[in-house]
Structure 1
Amino acid sequence: MHDTGGLSTTSASLPSLPYVSHEILLALNEPEVDIARVAETVNRDPALTARLISMANSAFFRGKQPAYSVAEAMMRLGMNRVRMMAVSIVLAQQLDTSRCPAFEPAIYWYNAMACSHAAGQIGRYVPIETGAEAAHLCGLMHSIGELLLVHTFPGDMQQILCALHEDPTQEPALLERRQLGFDRYTAGAMLLREWELPAVISDTIQTLAEPDQVDAAWSLQRLLRGSMNWVAADFDELPLQLEDPDYLPEGLVIRLRDDCQKEQAMLRGLASLLGH
């Protein structure tokens, strides 16, 4: 078992976020997105620019003419997809998962992006103080701690992920706490605080480690946990957190389910591209 000091913010094991990447994350997640500013900021990262333009020209989005610029890519992909893809690419650049063969990047990125999409869509209709943008970002970041643990403790995570493959009914966070002394949610919250993302994001993800905890972030936590469980159920069975008709009326649930299911094939394709 590892001491939690192994992931302290003073430890070299906690990856730093380059200045340009930090600026990109902030620009993408402002409530009022300035497309020109986002394009200018993204252009400062050549690798990210190339990946976004490549994805805009993929089979899912290809138009009559190729996209050659970030601005064209943003128009073709749509702002929410650009948010998802840009943040995901930035995260993948910082966290190396190659030393843990049991980790499956395409599955990880699909779950993160599908949760982000679902949380952002639900966040447009339910009463949360932070708005849909925070729900969208929370969904994408909810399991970033898994990436951090795979990056930092590849051998331990190889054992944990192999155990999960043998028995998928086990709770990943519980196995992580037994082996490492902390779980993906605690680790993820610590990393996001170090990276100076909005506190409500890290605080909400931290509460996932203690699902019975009720605090100021509870409304966002309810939405996030409901989105996670809905993705896990492939958008068929409505999770407990979303069942209340006063929270999500039946007609709205049907529309949201249809939207999320229509987005699935595209998200799986993008996740596969991210996984390479």
Structure 2
Amino acid sequence: MTDTLTLNGQRLRIPVLATGATSLMKQLSDDNIPFEQLASVIEQFPSISMRLIALANSAWSGSSVEVTSVMDACTRLGFNVVRSTSIALVVSAPFDPHRCPAFQPVRYWQDSMLIAEAAFGLTPEDGMPSPLCSQTMRTLGLLHNLGLLWLADSMPQETQAALLLSSADDSLSVSEALIETCGFDYCTVAEALCNEWQLPDAMSRVLAHQNTPAYKAQHWQGTELLRISKQLIRTLGTATPESLAQIETDTLSIEFATLRAEYRRLEQLQPRINDLASSLFLN
């Protein structure tokens, strides 16, 4: 692997994941991984193990019983929290987004974790290609904005300008603003990074085409599910039955009752997820 990658004439430093991190993400995306194996895999990453044990002993977990092992931490926190937290920690480690003052790490991970929950909860039991199980969709939700994280580190000035442009103009998306200032959006960058990190092709395709509504090639179901999940998260706290009905879900045969139930679940989860992201990335 080279140290840099050139995109549209721009040279970006390629962040290096910890040894075994790609394998960790693949195993954490397995719906059928046994609980003991989950703990065993995480134990190979001391920094993640320590953060999970600390989280299990924090006020956030709401228990007074001391936790001293990864297995006990996994039991206390639960499958979904352990998976999301572990992936977020291993992915964020090689980046320094503080180089871009307009980038807000806590807000970034709050949105990513909520979209991950939505993608997980809305994954249909039938109709999705085999690589795109509910846990893989959770991972894709966490990584959907991965390119922005990389750009905040590798092209901080251009990313700063894009974030300020988008903030000043509600009609201008971050993706569109990045094209103006960098020459490409976070989807293009995410695809390149997935290839460098040798992540599965399904993940690369979904991240690359998540903002392309007309995309109907391989694994289009994942891009469609990410689109629906992002729309749903944008409505949290303000949605009405009428506004939820405007979210197009027919392509994946997601019933309105399912969408509404997921919205209510996410509303209840939002404060806890926001607190989780704050406890992990507020520094």
Normalising by structure 1, what TM-score? 0.90
Q: What residue in structure 2 maps to residue 263 of structure 1? A: 269
Q: Show the counterpart of 1:26.
A: 26
Structure 2 residue 16 is matched with structure 1 residue 6? no
Query: What is the aligned counterpart of 1:144 among 121, 143, 146?
Result: 146
1:158 corresponds to which residue? 160
Partner of 2:115: 115
Q: Deviations over 1:159-191 (max 9, x none)?
A: 111222222331111111121111101101211
More displaced 10-residue stretch of structure 1: 231-240 or 180-189? 231-240
Structure 1: which amino acid aligns with 2:273? Answer: L
Deviates more, 1:55-64 or 1:77-86: 55-64
Give the drift of 1:209.
4.3
1:35 aligns with 2:56: no
What per-residue deviation string (whole Å, max 9, x for no partner) do you get for residues 100-126 of structure 1? 111011110011000000000101446
Q: Which among 171, 190, 193 is matched to residue 192 of structure 2?
A: 190
**Following the alignment from structure 1 to structure 2, what is the Cα–Cα distance between the partners of residues 270 and 108?**
12
SS at match of 1:94: coil
Q: Are the counterparts in 1 of residues 112 and 142 from structure 2 also a CA contact under 8 Å?
A: yes
CA distance 1:259–1:272, change in 2 (3 Å): same
* Equivalent in the alignment of 1:275: 281
The 5 Å alignment of 1:72-91 reads: 72-91=72-91
Q: 1:232 to 1:66 in 2, by over 3 A?
A: same
- Greater relative contact order, per chain length (Cα 8 Å cut-off, separation 6+): 1
Paired residue secondary structure (2:230): helix
Cα distance in 2 for partners of 1:256, 1:233 equals 12
SS at match of 2:184: coil
**Contact 1:42-1:49 at 8 Å conserved across structures:** yes
Deviation per residue, 1:211-236 (Å, 9 max, x gap): 32221221111111110111112162
d(CA) in 1 for partners of 2:190, 2:150:
7
TM-score (norm 2): 0.88
Letter in 2 for 1:134: T
CA RMSD of aligned residues (A): 2.1
Q: Sort the Cα spacing of 1:108 and 1:148 in 2 relative to 1 into closer, same or farther, 3 A.
A: same
Report SS of the residue matched to 2:212. coil
Indicate the SS of the match to 2:93: helix
Contact 2:103 2:160 (C-alpha < 8 Å) held by counterparts: yes
Between 37-46 and 266-275, the greater mean CA deviation after superposition: 37-46
Give every structure 1 segment of 4 or more consecutive aligned residues whose post-TM-superposition deviation is greater than 3 Å. Answer: 239-246
Distance 2:251 2:220 in 1: 18
- Amino acid in structure 1 at the alignment position of 2:101: P
Residues 228-239 of structure 1 mapped to structure 2, 5 A cutoff: 228-234=230-236, 236=239, 237-238=243-244
- 1:29–1:137 CA contact under 8 A, matched in 2: yes
- Calculate percent identity across the aligned residue pairs: 25
User: Could you list the runs of 5+ residues in structure 1 that have no partner in the other structure?
Assistant: none
What are the Cα deviations for residues 226-268 of structure 1, in whole angstroms up to 9, with x where unaligned? 1011111216242755443982223322321121111101110
Aligned positions of 1:46-85 closer than 5 A: 46-85=46-85
Letter matched to residue 244 of structure 2: L
Name the structure 2 match of 1:248.
254
Counterparts of 2:136 and 2:47, CA distance in 1: 26
For 2:3, the equivalent position in structure 1 comes to none
Count of residue correspondences? 271
